[in-house]
Amino acid sequence: MKISHNWLQTYFDEKIPAPLKLAELITFHSFEIEGVEKVGNDSVIDVKVLPDRAHNCLCHKGIADEIAVMTKQALKSRAAKAVETDRETKPDIKIEDKVFCARYMGRCVEIDPIKASPPWLKNFLTALGQRSIAPMVDAANLVMFDIGQPMHVFDADKVKGAITVRAAKQGEKITLLDGQEISLTPDDFLIADDEGPLGVAGVKGGKRAEVTPSTKRLIIESAHFNPIAVRRTATRLDIRSEASKRFENEITPELAPLAMNNVSALIKEICPEARFGPIIDVYLVKAVQTVIDFDPAYADQRLGMKVPRDEAKDILTRLGIAILEKDDRWSLTIPFERLDLRIPEDIVEEIGRIYGYDHIKGVLPEKIADPLVLAMFYLMEHIRSILISAGFSEVSLYTLVPKGEIEIAKPLARDKAFARKNLTDGLLVCLEKNVQNADLLGLEEIKIFEIGHIFSREGESVMLGLGAAQVKKAKGVSSEKVISATVSLLGNELRTPISKHKITADGLHTVTELNLDEIVKEFKPGVSYGDFNFEPASNNRYAKISPFPFITRDIAILVPEATEVRVVWESVLKGIKKAGALELLVRHSFFDMFKKGNETSYAFRLVFQSMDRTLTDVEANKIMERINEEIEMEKWQVR
């Protein structure tokens, strides 16, 4: 909700705190602030009003009330001076469903057509990010942004017969103010006349009785509509208007008269020639004020701090709550607009937040017995530790995938339309992606695992997925062997037989999944998590991954038998330095050595990659040439 600092000031005689200071006060006592922006000579504070306070705080008055409570500054009354009733015309109002419409106030007004709203009104709307539409509409909107009551104005000459609040008929159509034609159902409610719909109640006005620059006679609406019904209609039609947003959060019907009074005064101000008929008020279901029986000691107990009794009383009084004291208990009469205050806990919050949570001194709850071990959690953590020691790294992949059995009603994208039915598909893709980067990772085999949930029509299971891939074919090793050895290892370490597990293999990659919901049935966890020696968590800063491809070069060097590998590597490094390519060397390894006569061969793998460009073969060749030069200078031989 955008709040104008200048407009807030009109609620007070005293100067209110400057915008940033005010924003800070609001942050610590009421709401999160999303931003403070200078607009002309005004500042606009964007206040994040959550649903609990949207009953009365989606407007300047609500925020002004909060400020008055925080700063103890006196509020000025917002009731404008009532306009004189100097016409007899009055609207005929019929409410067919009092559950939907508890109150409807209407008033006829004659005006001289005026072209534009006065600059101050336009500026106010602009500051809030709204546009000026027509003077009478602007007036109604101003009242909504000011005190929170959505209003509507109809062109009275286009209304035929009585204003009726009723359920729509199946398939009944209406063209909205924005020209959109929509079809309604009996769950939607209308403002209608003898000819049909005039507007979708609480959501959006209709085109037929739209107020235009030539409008001479108005009917003003100030009403209360059922929050659930308005929300359902707004949701179904996917129309979220400023009005529906307020109605769906529920507003007290007691607000309607103030809105009618203020909009009348505003119209009179904009258009001094305006003539007003009497206010017709159909009030079928009277609002009842909440009374809460409150023990002030309860606030101290729940907050865990002593708020001086007088202070607590003062806070509640400033909030407009009437206190009746009797035998150490308070009977609290809640203002109509505070529909969020219903139970003693709500009062605890009011006292706590206004007094200030910074007064609370934190204490630790008393120690209790050591916690019980949850077998599944113990199992998962145990498996993680075993697998890490066995050289597996843990991945966490996406639950939402293109195919599966459990379908999402409104997916973000077609390739995220199902909850995964296995871990295997994700792990296979993941293995292959990592195989591509094997040189960069310095790995000859990729070994990964994931612990995650899978979903089928039968339900949900917690699975362990294991994946292995050989980067290059080598004798005696295969990803199948790695996986079966790992499953045996797990069985031994967990002292739990692992019988069923499906293996998916495609030559290079092997993946298997173990059902932890099954394994946990046989598994005997330790008596405490103290058995685990969790390694301290990594504190490493993330190092950016280059998006550019890397180039791998192997080099084997034949040297006299006694030459140490370190000495050979230094020469290689010297060559790279001379090529000015030290920062391109992202990984190197010493991967082979053998003796031949009185000579030794050392083989190194060099991986080059740039953070800012694609390296070319030409560049890599140049680096290798420099290395060769170094090797030749040592009278060694590149094989």
Partner 1 sequence: MVPMERGHLHPITQTIREIYAVFYELGFEVALGPELEYEYYNFDALNIPADHPSRDMQDTFWIKEGLKDAQGGVKNVSGTDFPGRNLGRRLLTTQTSAVQIRFMESHKPPFRVFVPGKVFRNEATDATHEAQFYQVEGLLVDRNVSLAQLIGTLEHALKKLFGEKSEMRFRPSYFPFVEPAIEGDLKWKDKWLEIVGAGLVHPHVLRAGGLDPKEWQGFAFAFGIDRLVMLKHAIPDIRLLYNGDLRFIDQF
Residues 373 to 392 in contact with partner 1, rule: CB under 8 A = 373-374, 376-377, 381, 384, 387-392
How near is the Cβ of 402 to partner 1 at its closest, in Å? 14
Q: For residue 611, report the phi and psi dihedrals to the nearest 5 degrees.
A: -75, -20
How near is the Cβ of 383 to partner 1 at its closest, in Å? 11
Within 10 angstroms of residue 274's Cβ, the number of other Cβ atoms is: 21
Rounded CA-CA distance 578/626 in Å is 7
Nearer to partner 1, 166 or 420 (CB): 420
Residue 304 touches partner 1, criterion: CB under 8 A:
yes
Residue 566 touches partner 1, criterion: CB under 8 A:
no
Residue 18 touches partner 1, criterion: CB under 8 A:
no
Return the residues of window 221-250 that contact partner 1 according to CB under 8 A.
227-228, 231-232, 248-249
Residue 618 touches partner 1, criterion: CB under 8 A:
no
Selected binder of partner 1 within 77, 273, 542, 598 (CB under 8 A):
542
Nearer to partner 1, 460 or 583 (CB): 460
Rounded CA-CA distance 111/122 in Å is 19
How near is the Cβ of 73 to partner 1 at its closest, in Å? 20
Rounded CA-CA distance 32/23 in Å is 9
Local structure of 75: helix, strand or coil:
strand
Return the residues of window 501-530 that contact partner 1 according to CB under 8 A.
529
Contact assessment for residue 46 and residue 36, using Cβ atoms and an 8 Å cutoff? yes
Contacts for 27-36: CB closer than 8 Å, 24+ residues apart: 28/356, 28/357, 28/358, 29/66, 29/69, 29/70, 29/353, 29/354, 29/356, 30/57, 30/63, 30/66, 30/70, 30/353, 31/57, 31/66
Nearer to partner 1, 146 or 439 (CB): 439
Could you tell me which stretch among 21-29, 94-102, 155-163, 551-559 binds partner 1 (CB under 8 A)?
A: 21-29
Nearer to partner 1, 571 or 609 (CB): 609
The burial of 371, by beta-carbon neighbours within 10 Å (0-12 exposed, 13-18 middle, 19 or more buried), is given as: exposed
Q: Which residues contact 233 (CB under 8 A, 6 or more apart)?
A: 187, 188, 189, 200, 202, 203, 244
Could you tell me which stretch among 177-185, 273-281, 287-295, 357-365 binds partner 1 (CB under 8 A)?
A: 357-365
Q: E strand or H helix at 452, and its extent?
A: strand 445-456
The token pair at 608 is 């080059």
Could you tell me which stretch among 194-202, 285-293, 531-539, 615-623 binds partner 1 (CB under 8 A)?
A: 531-539
Nearer to partner 1, 6 or 385 (CB): 385
How near is the Cβ of 328 to partner 1 at its closest, in Å? 18
Residue 113 touches partner 1, criterion: CB under 8 A:
no
Handedness of CA 425, 427, 429, 432 (dihedral sign): negative
Return the residues of window 417-476 that contact partner 1 according to CB under 8 A.
419, 426-427, 429-430, 433-434, 437, 440-441, 443, 446-448, 452-453, 455, 457, 459-460
Within 10 angstroms of residue 366's Cβ, the number of other Cβ atoms is: 5
Residue 547 touches partner 1, criterion: CB under 8 A:
no
Residue 288 touches partner 1, criterion: CB under 8 A:
no
Residue 597 touches partner 1, criterion: CB under 8 A:
no
Selected binder of partner 1 within 16, 54, 143, 307 (CB under 8 A):
54
How near is the Cβ of 142 to partner 1 at its closest, in Å? 24
How near is the Cβ of 353 to partner 1 at its closest, in Å? 4
Rounded CA-CA distance 618/343 in Å is 76
The token pair at 548 is 């550019």
Within 10 angstroms of residue 637's Cβ, the number of other Cβ atoms is: 13
Residue 283 touches partner 1, criterion: CB under 8 A:
no
By DSSP bridging, strand 551-560 and strand 585-596 are: unpaired
Nearer to partner 1, 311 or 632 (CB): 311
Tokens 């006060």 -> residue: 25
How near is the Cβ of 393 to partner 1 at its closest, in Å? 4
Selected binder of partner 1 within 539, 562, 595, 597 (CB under 8 A):
539
Residue 415 touches partner 1, criterion: CB under 8 A:
no
Q: Count of residues binding partner 1 (CB under 8 A)?
A: 102
Nearer to partner 1, 91 or 404 (CB): 404
Q: At what angle do helices 135-147 and 256-270 cross, to 10 degrees?
A: 140
Nearer to partner 1, 127 or 468 (CB): 468
Tokens 């499906």 -> residue: 502
Rounded CA-CA distance 211/137 in Å is 8
Selected binder of partner 1 within 88, 273, 363, 618 (CB under 8 A):
363
How near is the Cβ of 278 to partner 1 at its closest, in Å? 35
Selected binder of partner 1 within 181, 310, 328, 364 (CB under 8 A):
364
